[in-house]
A and B are shown apart, each in its own frame.
Chain A
Amino acid sequence: MSHPSLLSASLALLKRDLSMTLTRGGGPLLAVGFFITLMAMIPLSLGPDSSLLSRIAPGVTWLCLALSTLLSLERLFERDYDDAVFDVLRLGPLPLELVALLKCLSQWLGTGLILSLLTPLIMIILGAEPSLALISLVAALLGSLSFALIGGIGASLALGARKGGVLMALLVLPFYVPPVIFGAGLMQAAQISASPLQALSFLAAYALFALALAPIAMGAALRSALN
């Protein structure tokens, strides 16, 4: 008997999930479309005052990023849960915590990464300084990773619930407070040419914290859901 190594099984799972993220259910297009639509609604609701828009552009873009990431996470575990694919995944070499983490990461690679690449663009369209592009990209990458991991906890908790999507948003959004604050604060600091280093390190710290906490919480929640 040949048993696959942790690495080769992880890669197999990552490859499968990434291809499903990119092709199924509208793929990243859905999240990108939502992101852009939200952005278009902002000037329409606030009026075209460009000085106001450029002042709030970073903060508002962050909120749009958080909501778009959240939207794409609703079905993170649900498909495999409904199809009983977890019956196979659990009998492989990977612990459930790692399975959950890999699913989060492939979701992030498939949508969060693309949304992060769009973030500087959206911010500039809304009127922020183009010089902020690089720092906003770095911040968006860290932020969307936190959003994906924390959102994964929500998705695993809401698994199998009625109206799982709304429930998930309700559970997850309060946990988005720190990355939203640090991310938007970072942009604000950069806007007034203050050092964004403090906010950036808080943002990175929260991403690491989520990376440590999320697998444990998702593993426990999935274990109870898959009984």
Chain B
Amino acid sequence: MINFLANPERFTRVTAPLRPWLVGLGLALMAWGLYLCFASPEDYQQGDTVRIMYIHVPFAYLSMALYAAIGIASFFGLIFRHALADAAAKAIAPVGAVFTVIALLTGSLWGKPMWGTWWEWDGRMTSVLVLLLFYIGYIAIHNAIEDEQRAARSAAILALVGLINLPIIKFSVEWWNTLHQGASVFRADGPTIAPAMLWPLFVMIAATHILTAWLILVRIDSEILARKYRALRARLSYN
């Protein structure tokens, strides 16, 4: 088998030249997107508060996409023992957790003027809350288990078990909701979006996703370096 550091090093070599392009493109799109957000018309019912959507929706997407990414990386780390996959999953988790918090907070801020409540125990919001708990558990495992590789394995198993369980949890919360009739204030699929609002939203989604990709590449790279540093230190301590 090829030396295990060779792969991560090749990964760094290939992705390092990409990073300036990603960050440049991301920032440019972000600037354009923010301009469009404020240039776009107000909603006839929600007024200015509709602009929260341009932040909320991209981060809600990202919180789910990043958990899926952790799941995929965990699968490869667990089955093929790919050291880079472990590093990637570990690097993604805190980003995903923070984005989930942002999605929940902006959702709550948006919900208050729109539906008159900060929080509603409906299937979607409760599932996102559970998603946050998964992120926290995932990060906690990495912190609590000292052996890196063991931590990566345990965390990967948790991520996969979580991925299998999320649909079940979502279903059970929705079922619970139908049991408690009258509790639901709004339709789960939300309002339909006017085309004038679609453009800024689309640009914001593209910008946040590209910047997130850049952030994660940087974090994977620093994780690889940190691991190499620890391996060197362990070796020096023998002599």
Residues of A within 8 A of B (CB): 153, 157-158, 160-164, 167, 170-171, 173-175, 177-178, 181-182, 185, 188-189, 202, 206, 209, 213, 217, 220-221, 224-225, 227
Contact = CB atoms under 8 A, between A and B. Distances in A.
B128 interface: no
Contact of A174 (B130, B164, B171): B130
A170 B169 contact: no
A178 B158 contact: no
B140 A167 contact: yes
Contacts of A220: 78, 153, 157
B188 interface: no
The size bracket of the interface on B is 20 to 34
Interface of B: 78, 130, 133-134, 136-137, 140-141, 144-147, 149-150, 153-154, 157-158, 160-162, 164-165, 168-169, 171-173, 175-176, 179
A161 B139 CA distance: 13
A115 B98 CA distance: 39
Contacts of B162: 174-175
Contact of B165 (A163, A164, A175): A175
Given A157-B141, A185-B179, A217-B157, A177 B150 contact: no
Given A158-B144, A181-B173, A171 B157 contact: no
A167 B144 contact: yes
Nearest to A177: B169
Contacts of B164: 213
Contacts, number: 86
Given A157-B141, A220-B153, A175 B175 contact: no
Contacts of A153: 157, 161
Contacts of A177: 130, 169, 172-173
A167 B176 CA distance: 27
Nearest to A219: B157
Contacts of A161: 141, 144-145
A182 B171 CA distance: 11
A181 B175 contact: yes
A178 B154 contact: no
A158 B143 CA distance: 11
Nearest to A218: B157
A212 to B, nearest CB: 10
Given A177-B130, A213-B164, A225-B150, A171 B137 contact: yes
Contact of A178 (B157, B160, B168): B168
Closest CB pairs A-B (n = 5): A224-B153, A161-B144, A178-B172, A174-B133, A171-B137
Contacts of B144: 158, 161-164, 167
- Interface core residue of B145, B169, B173 (most chain A CB under 10 Å): B145
A202 B157 contact: no
Contacts of B130: 174, 177
Nearest to B132: A174
Contacts of B172: 177-178, 181-182, 202
Nearest to B178: A185
B179 A188 contact: yes
B11 to A, nearest CB: 24
